[in-house]
Each structure stands twice: as C-alpha cells, then as structure tokens.
C-alpha cells in the first residue's frame, strides 16, 4: 500500500489536506441532503442560511458574510434563482446592486434544515472531532484570523532567502 503523501508532509501540504477533509465532509452532507430529497448543493446551504439569519443581502454582503468571492456568490445565486430558492431585485438606493432574498421554497429548506438536519450534522461532526467543546473550531478561528492579519504569501516572502543580484 502507498503511504498517504499529503498526511506525511505535515504543514507543507496543509492546504491540500484541509481541502481534502472539506471535500469529504461536503460529500457526506450532500449524501444526507440527497437522501432527504433536499434539492440544493451542500456549498449553497450556507448562503440560504445566511439569508435566513440576516435577511435580504446584496451579493457583496453575502460574499463578505461567507468569505467567498463575489463571482462565486453570483454563480450560486443564479443557480438558486433558477431553482426558485431565492429571488434577486435591484437595490433601491443603488440600481447596480443586486439584493438577494429567500423565496418561500428557500425558507422551507432552511426551516427543514433547522428542524431535521442541522443538529444531526453538528452532533456528528462534534463526535468525529471527539469534543464537547470547540478547541478545533477555536484553532480554525485562530488560523483564519492570523491569515487575515498577514497572508501566508507575505509570511513566506518575509522568511524566504533573499536572491542575490549581480551588479555589473
């Protein structure tokens, strides 16, 4: 059997490992949604949950709230509009902005999620993490805060050996 290269390389492949874990988690949640006939992609659920919690938001506000790019939000919103999950209207003050609102079908998905699915997902993940409290989540918060303060790229550039230049 071949050794798990990504796991073996530690911090060098941390991004790949986190993405791999995220992909596994999303695939399993998608299986649950599919088995429960919830017609939405796992990655779109936070979008409609944010609209439920905060009310109507612009595309920019959704991108900020979810930490996702505006083009990514625009794509997701377009798909959700086609499914009848959200509606989009031009902003009252600024016609260039698009305000996204939960449609009744989207609200029904959120209500069902709150009632039947979210607690199951949360408890199952807490069980996997082996914790009743949230040290892993605290570490993720710390990591995100540190990256927001100073990007990995900036840190690497500061610690990378300087290239010597040859002056003629």
CATH 3.40.50.720 fits 5-158, yes or no: no
pLDDT digits 0-9 by tens, 84-101: 999 999 877 776 789 999
Q: Give me the sign of the Cα torsion angle 138, 139, 141, 145.
A: positive
Question: 139-162: per-residue pLDDT in tens?
Answer: 899 999 999 999 999 999 999 877
Are 6 and 20 a contacting pair, CB within 8 Å?
yes
Using CA atoms in the order 101, 99, 50, 36, what is the torsion angle rounded to 10 degrees? 40
Residues 40 and 33: beta-carbon distance below 8 Å = yes
The whole-number pLDDT of residue 2 equals 87
Domain ranges of the chain: 5-158
d(CA 134, CA 152): 25
160 is written with which tokens?
Answer: 């990378």
């Amino acid at each position: 059997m071949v050794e798990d290269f990504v796991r073996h390389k530690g911090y060098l492949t941390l991004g790949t490992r986190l993405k791999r874990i995220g992909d596994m988690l999303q695939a399993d949640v998608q299986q649950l949604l599919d088995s429960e006939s919830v017609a939405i992609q796992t990655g779109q659920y936070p979008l409609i949950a944010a609209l439920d919690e905060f009310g109507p938001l612009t595309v920019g506000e959704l991108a900020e709230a979810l930490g996702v790019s505006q083009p990514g939000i625009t794509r997701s919103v377009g798909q959700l509009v086609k499914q009848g999950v959200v509606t989009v209207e031009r902003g009252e003050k600024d016609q260039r902005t698009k305000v996204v609102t939960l449609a009744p079908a989207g609200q029904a998905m959120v209500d069902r999620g709150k009632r039947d699915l979210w607690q199951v997902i949360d408890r199952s993940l807490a069980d996997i993490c082996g914790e009743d409290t949230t040290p892993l989540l605290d570490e993720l918060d710390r990591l995100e805060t540190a990256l927001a303060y100073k990007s990995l790229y900036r840190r690497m550039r500061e610690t990378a050996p300087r290239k010597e230049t040859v002056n003629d």
